[in-house]
Structure 1
C-alpha cells in the first residue's frame, strides 16, 4: 500500500504491521509477549523495591543497578501500548506526533542504558583498582550528577531526530515493518534524500554507544591488569566475580543493538523475519534478563529477594 501522506501532522498516520502474514495468530503470539512484559515489569520493580527498602543496599553499585532497572522499565513501557494494541485490538494506525514521541523515548532510553552501563563499569573500576577511595570518589552527589548527565546527554542528542523526520514527506509508503517506531525504519519511507539523517544517526551512535563501549572495554582492561597483580588466586576470583553480572548486562545490551543497526543499514536483502527478530531482541531481552542475572549473580540482591518472598508467603498464610 502506497499513499502520499498529508503534510499536516494532525491527519497523517503510519501503519504498524506487527507480524505480517500471521494476523490470525496474533492472539497466540500475544501470550509470550504478555509474559515477557509482565516479567520485565515485575522483575525490575522487585529490584527497585529491594534497593529502596533495604538500607544495607544504599551504595553506589546498587544505585546504578536501580538506574538500570528504571531505564529497562521505561524501554518496556515505551513499546507496550503499540505492541499489545496490535495483538489485542488490531489498532495499527499511529499518528505521526505519537510515533515521533515513541521514537524519542525508545532511542533516548537506549542511550541512557548505555550511559548507565558505562557508569557501572566505572563503579567496578574504582571498587577494584582504587578500593580505598571508593566512598570518597563515588559520593551520592557524584552518582546523581552521573545519572542526570546520562539523561541529559541522551535526550539532547535524540531531540533533533523527530525534527529531522518532520521535514520529510512520505510518498514511498506509510507502512512500518514493526509494532513500534524506530528512526531507521521511518526515514526509509521518505521521498527526498535522507543523507542528513544517516550522517546524524551515525554521529549519535558513534559518540554515545561507540564511546561508551570503548570506555567500558578500557575500564575492564585496567581491572584485569589490577586483578592479575593480586597474588592470591582466591582474591582474584572474588574480584572478578563482582564483575560477572555487569559483563552479562553489557553483552545483552550492546550485541543486539549493534546487530540491529547493521541489519537495518546493510541487511536489506535479509528475510523480514530477521529484522523483526533483531528488533524485539534489542528492546525486550535486556530488560527481561537484567533482573534475573543480578538476582542470581549478586548475592546481596538474591538473598533480599528470597527473604521478602518468604516474608510475603508467611504473611499470606497467616491471613
Structure 2
C-alpha cells in the first residue's frame, strides 16, 4: 500500500516597505520567521530588513532576481510540491509587479499550488493616491523602453488612453521620459512626479508635462514614479478613405508602427482593421505602404 501523497505547500508573496520600515505589515515578520524557504531579490537587503524588524529567518534563503529567475523557478516549485512554505520578497513593494515573481506564480498556479499574499506597501497605489489626478480608472505601464525610438512608439500607442497612467522610471531617465510624454501627448497634459515616496525626502511635484520637464532638467534623485492623466477626449476618425489614410499617416509620424496605427484607427473609426489596411496598402505613389 503506497503512502499518502504529499500535500503541496504554499507560495506567499510578501510586500516589503517602499521607504520606511515602520510601514511593513505585522504579518511580514511572522511569515519571514515561519517560512521554510525565503526567496529574495537581494539577500543583502533581506538581511538588513530582517535586522530592522528584529526577525530571525530559520528557513533556507535563496536569491531570486531577474538574472536567475527562470533558472531558479523549477527548484522553488519543487520545494512547494514537497510541501514547503515558500516566501517571496523583492526589494520594495509587491513581488511580480515590475519585480521577479510572475514566473513562479504562474508555475505554482499551473501545478495546483496555493498562492497567497501579505498585502502592504505599493508605489503604484501610493503615487496614484497622492497625485491629485483621477483615480476611478487607471492602468500601470511599468518602465518605458530605454531607447528613444521604442519609447516614442510606446507613448504613441497610449495617446488615446483615457485612464490615468502610472509609470516607474529611473531618476537619470526621468527628464527624457517626461519630454517624450510632452511631445507625444502635449505639454499641457497634467501629471505628477512622485519621488522617494514615504521616505524622509519625499516629494510630489504636480503640473503640466512641459513644466515638469523644465523642473527635471536640474536632475532628479531617488526612486521615481510618474502619474499622468489620461486623454480627455479622443476624436473619432471619419470613415472616408482619405481621412482613414491621413489618420494612419499622422500616427506613424508620432512614432507608431504601421500595424499599431492601423489597429488604433480601425477602433476609432469603427471599421474592420482589414479595411484600413487595404486602404493604406493600395495608396498611390508617394503614400506610405505596409
Query: TM-score scaled by structure 2?
Result: 0.23
Whose radius of gyration is greater, 1 or 2?
2
Structure with greater helix share of residues: 1
Structure with bigger RCO (C-alpha 8 Å, 6+ apart)? 1
